[in-house]
Structures are given as C-alpha cells and as structure tokens.
Amino acid sequence: MRSKKALFLILMGIAIAAVPFLLRMREQQRADQYMEQFEEDGDEDETRKETGSRKKEASPYLAEGAAGMVEIPELKIKYPVFEGTGTVQLNEGIGHMESTAPLCGEGNCVLAGHNGSRRGVFFTNLGSAEAGMEVKLTTKEGVTHCYTVEEMRVVNPYDGWVTEESDTEVLTLFTCAEHGTRRFACRCVPVEDYGSERGDAESK
C-alpha cells in the first residue's frame, strides 16, 4: 500500500514539474506558427508585386494585432511584434511601446520582451548580445530594416535612457535583469550608420 502511495506521489510530482515545460513548448509552437504565417504572407505580397495581382485582405494573424517581427540570428531570437506591452502582447511575443517611434521609422523605436517566461524564450537570450550583432526588424507591410547592436546597458526599471527620444532612427530592445529588479537594454543603429560611426571613430 505504501509503495503504491509513494509511486502515486512521485508521478504527481513529475506531472506538476512538467506543466511549465509543456506550457512553454505550446507557446513556442504558437509563436512559430505566427512566424510561418507572417513569412507566408510576405512571400505572397512579393508574388503580387511581381505579377501585379490585387492585394489580398490581411490574414487573421495580422488582424489580431501583429505589427511585424524582430530577429537576432546569432541569439536565435525570432518573434512576432505586437503593438503594446501589456500581458496579452508579451505572452504572445515581443511588445512595441506605442509611445515610441513606429517600427522602422524615424526616432527611437522601443521593443520589450520577457526574460525566462514559461510561455516562450522571447528575449531570454538578449543578455548575451554583443556590439556588432545583426538585428532585423520587419513590418507587416514587408519593410525590413537591418540594425547592429551599438551599446548595452543594465539600467533601473524607469531609467529614461531606454525611451529617450532620438532625432535619428534607432532601435532599443530591453528585458528584465537581476530577478526583475533592473533592465537589460540594447541600443541598435541602422547598419549604414553603424559603419559610418565606426569609420569616423577609427579615423580620429
């Protein structure tokens, strides 16, 4: 009797321990499906441009609020971007702070993502970013801008550096750090700007 009870408790423990993993795997699969749909829509847009065919209506995926996608190949980050940084958006992918510049637009565009969420990897690997890494940002209209990581900082949650305005196009990515007490942020600049700034610095 005791052996059966012990076995039951062990199985219950395994089941409980597996729940976060299963939830995370499910959410990762959903994110992958979103990305596949996004890329399929982009391919169809390109085909319509080449053939001159009529533009189709937005897919249900885009209608739900996806504004684009962000990708950092070296960190294996590739997620849809949603307008807003509420619970719903950050549980589905990466959130765009609506008070900041638009995706691929002039000014400081700020994107936020969870670190260590059971719902997906999201920006968990962002802390491993290094200067010079490539970042791609694509809008739902198919516009893609390439950036490089220029600067990384660990800041307080309400540090103004993350959302400070800019006269030029920059991209800022941030996530939680140090058990949520601070924020890890990356400032990224368009590829051509990064190259010119490095050249100016080296010539001095």
Percent of the chain with pLDDT over 90: 55
Query: Does residue 174 have a pLDDT over 80?
Result: yes
Q: Which residues constitute the domain of residue 101?
A: 27-203
Contacts of 50 (CB under 8 A, 6+ apart): none
In a domain, 17, yes or no: no
In a domain? residue 127: yes
Answer yes or no: is 5 within a domain. no
What is the share, in percent, of the chain residues with pLDDT greater than 70? 63
Quick check: pTM over 0.85?
no
Rounded to whole angstroms, what are the CA distances from 77 to 14, 116, 156, 196, 197? Answer: 30, 13, 24, 26, 26
Q: What is the pLDDT of residues 109-150, one digit of tens each?
A: 999 999 987 777 899 999 999 999 999 999 999 899 999 999
Average pLDDT value for residue range 77-100: 94
* pLDDT number for residue 43: 43
Residue 178 belongs to some domain of the structure: yes
Per-residue model confidence (pLDDT) at position 8? 60
The 3 state secondary structure assigned to the chain is: CHHHHHHHHHHHHHHHHHHHHHHHHHHHHHHHHHHHHHHHHHHHHHHHHHHCCCCCCCCHHHHCCEEEEEEEHHHCEEEEEEEECCHHHHHHCEEECCCCCCCCCCCEEEEECCECCCCCCECHHHHHCCCCCEEEEEECCCCEEEEEEEEEEEECCCCCCCCCCCCCCEEEEEEEECCCCEEEEEEEEEHHHHHHHHHHHHHC
Say if 80 falls within a structural domain: yes
What's the whole-number average pLDDT of the chain?
Answer: 77
Q: Per the domain annotation, does 2 fall within a domain?
A: no
Residue 49 banded pLDDT, cuts 50, 70, 90: very low
Note whether residue 126 is domain-resident: yes
CA distances from 168 to 41, 59, 107, 119, 177 (A): 30, 32, 5, 34, 27
CATH of the domain at 125: 2.40.260.10
Domain assignment present for 110: yes
Read off the tokens for 62: 């885009």
Give the mean model confidence (pLDDT) for residues 79-89. Answer: 94
* Rounded distance between C-alpha atoms, residue 95 and residue 91, angstroms: 9
pLDDT value at residue 117: 73
Res 116: pLDDT: 81
Number of domains within the chain? 1
In this prediction, residue 182 has a pLDDT band, given cuts at 50, 70 and 90, of: very high
In terms of residues, how long is the chain? 204
Q: Please compute the mean of the pLDDT values over residues 168-184 and round it to a whole number.
A: 95
